[in-house]
Amino acid sequence: MEQSRCRMPSPAGIMSFSSCRRSHGLIAAMSPEVQQFSADLDQLPLAIGFASRACATAGLPPDACLKAELVIEELFSNTVRHGYGIGAARRERPVWIGITREDDGVIISYQDAAPQHNPLVEDPDLAERTVSRRHIGGLGRVLVRDLPRDVSYSVEDGRNTVRFRLGGAART
């Protein structure tokens, strides 16, 4: 499949990924949008709204837009609470959300500069624990991993990067 020739985009390379896919006839030309937010929970509604509007503008159904909102909420709140940690300095820490529109959906790129952490790695003990023995948290990674399609994690230019696709024929 031609798609395997194109790698998921880096922050500066979102356009190059789209260009690669266009050159293989996979998508029509679409411009990416990237917005930076402060890693503060006060910014969470703005980050969710940005992703939700992009999904709606791309013509995705409401359930796909809701998936984007849930994944962004989980990633963003975990960045604030665990990635950058509690304290005033987190207001100065950035989170980047990039949206690349495609003919059949969107690719959403979420980045932070917190210490390296892959949210897609499953906690092996989580499934084994009974409800009474579980600590709060850990189930959000299931949302991030299972709601969208083509989820990936990488570290690019020192940034944790999670990318996921919404839309398309297989799963919105």
Name which of 118, 107, 99, 105 is nearest 6 in CA terms. Answer: 107
Name which of 108, 107, 136, 143 is nearest 122 in CA terms. Answer: 143
CATH code of the domain containing 143: 3.30.565.10
The answer as to whether 102 is a domain residue is: yes
The answer as to whether 25 is a domain residue is: no
The answer as to whether 2 is a domain residue is: no
Name which of 40, 48, 41 is nearest 68 in CA terms. Answer: 48
How many independent structural domains does the chain possess? 1
List, for residues 77-96, the tens digit of each pLDDT value: 989 888 887 665 656 789 99
User: Per-block average pLDDT, block size 10, for the chain (172 residues)?
Assistant: 39 41 42 87 95 91 90 91 73 88 87 90 59 50 57 92 78 44
The answer as to whether 96 is a domain residue is: yes
The answer as to whether 23 is a domain residue is: no
Give backbone dihedrals phi and psi of 100, rounded to 5 degrees, phi first.
-115, 115
**Which residues constitute the domain of residue 103?**
33-167
**What is the per-residue pLDDT for 7?**
42
Per-state percent for the chain, helix, strand, coil, to nearest 5: 40, 25, 35
The answer as to whether 41 is a domain residue is: yes
